[in-house]
Every structure is written in C-alpha cells, then in structure tokens.
Amino acid sequence: MRWFTPSWQVLVAIVLCVVAAVLGPASGPEAGALADPTATIIYPYFTTKDYIFGLIFPAGAISMMRIPAVAAALVLFIGAHGAAWLLLSGIAGFEGTALAPFYLLLAAAWLLAWRCVTILSSLAPAGRGERMLLRLLIPAIFGLWLLIIWEAVTRGAGVPFVLLPPPSAIAARIANSLPILAADVKQTILKAVLAGYVIGCGAGLAAAILADRFGFLRRGLLPIGNMVSALPIIGIAPIMVMWFGFDWHSKAAVVVVMTFFPMLVNTVTGLAASGHMERDLMRTYAAGYWQTLVKLRLPAAAPFIFNALKINSTLALIGAIVAEFFGTPVVGMGFRISTEVGRMNIDMVWAEIAVAAVAGSVFYGVVSLFERAATFWHPSVRGG
C-alpha cells in the first residue's frame, strides 16, 4: 500500500510549470513591465498568475496521493479547468502577445485534464445512471478542451480574425444574430429539408415495396441503386435550381433525389431480412401478400429502414445547403454561408455551421428516438 502513485502526465505538467516559472513573463506586456519597473503597464495575469500555479501544483500533487479515484478526478478537473479559465480570461484584450510560458501553462493544464480523463475512463461504476453520466462526461471534456485550445491559440498567437475566429467570438455572433439564424433555419430546414426528406423517403419506400412485389424490377433496380449511391448526386443541384426556381422547392427536389436511393436499397435489403420460419408461419395462417408485408416483413425491415432514415437525415441537410450555393432568395443557410464567406465575415459562417451541426444532431437524435420506440424488440435496442 503506497500512499503515492506517480503518473507521467502530472509529472510532466509539474515540470512544465517549473519551466514556465523560470522563463518568467507569460506575455509581451508583462516582459515590458518587468524591464521597466517604474512605468505602470497593464499586463495579463497582473494578479492571477500565482493562482494559476496555485491551481496546477496542488491539484497534480493531491491527485497522486492514495485517495479515491473519483476524488482525484474531481481535484484534477477543478485544477485543470480553473487554470484554463484564468489563462483564457487573462489573455483577452492582449491578443497576439503570448510568450512561451503561456503555452507551457496551457499544456500543463491540458495534461491534468488528460490524467483526469484517464482516471475517469478506468472507472467502472455499478449504477446505470453513473455509467451514463461517465459516457457523456468523458467526450464532453474532450470537446471542451478542443474549444479551450482553439480559443487559447487564436487569442494567444493573435491568429487573424478572417482566418479562424476564437469560439467566444462565434458564440457572441450566434447570440447577436439569432433572428437571422432563425430565418435561415426556417427557410432551409423547416421548408426544404423536411419536405424533401419526407417525399424522398416516402418515394424510396414505395419503390422498394414495388421492387419487392416484382422480382424483375428488383433485379434491375438494385444494381442501379447501388451504383447511384456512389455518384456525386449533389451535382444535379444547378439543374434543379433551373427547373424549380430559386425558392425552397428546388432544394427540396435535390433532397428528394439524394434520399431516394439509400432508402430504396436499404428497404429492399430489409424486406429480405425476415426468416423462412416466420414466412412459413404466415403461410400456414393463409396470410396474403399484403398481410405478410404489413404484419411481418415491414416490422422485420424496420432496423434497415431506420438506418436509411438516419443516413438520409445528414444527406438531406447537405443537399439543401449545397443546393443553395447555386442560387436562392436572400435567406437560407447555404446562401448565408456563401455570401458571408465572400464578405469575409468568417464568424458568421462559423455561427451558421454551428447551427447546422446542432440541427443535424437534433434531426439524427429525433430519428434515433423514433427508432428506439419502433424497434424496441431488436437486440441492439433491448441490450442497451
């Protein structure tokens, strides 16, 4: 029973801290202030620098003691993110002045977070709720650090705004332009994507049932459907814009074509998924084709159909957004992206992309919820 278990992440973090302390000033203005003590120069971390060291050192040290793993993870979590928050809030207003110690401290905080995630990954709690929490927490920390490093590098190194705006600026832009974003979402998603998705998936399902009824049609359509799914269908966007005009109808048409084939191919595969035994059973009941289809084969095909619905949820968004690059009324997510790129308002573009990402995830999530409700009998859901 040792009271002390070293971990390489924490040791490296402490070494980095020591190097940072030896190197001294963490930013250009601070170096100036040290060089000329009489002048009053405001510099980052005027008062908070000690706190940063004071967070990283003890957090690292305590985490290596023989304490419960949850406590160690909590201490590391507080230490790493407190230090990161101090570093980020301090550099605001002094963009582009960061020196080596700034990055060293950031790296030290990141190593603590890594150690925290490693401890959390090795936990195996008994309760279902706790497992769920861990499943969410670990990727959340990873995502958070992606944002922290993005923010620190863009602010610390003074990356030009047009190249890559820091996430805080993007968040501010989202908050400031909610009406515009809402109008774009309404135009692109609520009109074009949903209409196209429903029509495309419905047509794909109907075509699949037809193909299932007539074997000749299936043997002809399936190879074509498989081939089409590899083609860059998105290229029909300019043609659809020409046929159906600039408004959302043309985007919906692109979405219809893009979602049709995945639905067709998956449903045809799914309709063949029910076993011989079940089909024979239906025959002993003297069930007709339609009865067998509705009561046995469509439910058996549900996992495949939902797979297609999920694939299509992403394809539909891509289709509608890219189709807007070819011409739209002055509203819509694709329109906003292409015009704001032209005006070098990169933060607005990022805001639009963030909204698209959230919309895509929500769309996918809703389809997954329906899937869980409809295919509750399937092993992949039951076992969850």
- Cα separation of 178 and 169, whole Å? 14
Least CB distance to another protein at residue 205 (A): 19
Which C-beta is closer to another protein: that of 67 or that of 344? 344
Which C-beta is closer to another protein: that of 45 or that of 363? 363
Least CB distance to another protein at residue 90 (A): 27
Least CB distance to another protein at residue 267 (A): 17
Least CB distance to another protein at residue 47 (A): 34
Three-state SS for the chain is CCCECCCHHHHHHHHHHHHHHHHCCCEHHHHHHHHCCCCCCCCCCCCCHHHHHHHHHHHHHHHHECCCHHHHHHHHHHHHHHHHHHHHHHHCCCCCCECHHHHHHHHHHHHHHHHHHHHHHHCCCCCHHHHHHHHHHHHHHHHHHHHHHHHHHHHHCCCCCCCCCCHHHHHHHHHHCHHHHHHHHHHHHHHHHHHHHHHHHHHHHHHHHHHHHCHHHHHHHHHHHHHHCCCCHHHHHHHHHHHHCCCHHHHHHHHHHHHHHHHHHHHHHHHCCCCHHHHHHHHHCCCCHHHHHHHHHHHHHHHHHHHHHHHHHHHHHHHHHHHHHHCCCCCCHHHHHHHHHHCCCHHHHHHHHHHHHHHHHHHHHHHHHHHHHHCCCCHHHHCC
Which C-beta is closer to another protein: that of 15 or that of 357? 357
Which C-beta is closer to another protein: that of 74 or that of 86? 74
Least CB distance to another protein at residue 365 (A): 8
Which C-beta is closer to another protein: that of 21 or that of 222? 222
Which C-beta is closer to another protein: that of 51 or that of 364? 364
Which C-beta is closer to another protein: that of 5 or that of 361? 361
Which C-beta is closer to another protein: that of 229 or that of 269? 229
Least CB distance to another protein at residue 187 (A): 15
- What tokens does 294 get? 């509705």
Which C-beta is closer to another protein: that of 19 or that of 164? 164
Work out the end-to-end distance of the chain between its first and last CA atoms, rounded to an integer number of angstroms: 38
Q: Which of 108, 296, 315, 128 minimizes the C-alpha distance to 204? A: 315
Binding site for another protein (CB under 8 A): 114, 117-118, 120-122, 135, 138-139, 141-143, 162-164, 216-224, 227, 229-232, 234-239, 241-243, 313-314, 317-318, 321-322, 325-327, 333-334, 337-338, 341-342, 344, 346, 349-350, 352-353, 356-357, 360-361, 363-364
Least CB distance to another protein at residue 120 (A): 8
Q: Which residue has the tokens 């400031």?
A: 176
Which amino acid does the sequence have at 369? Answer: L
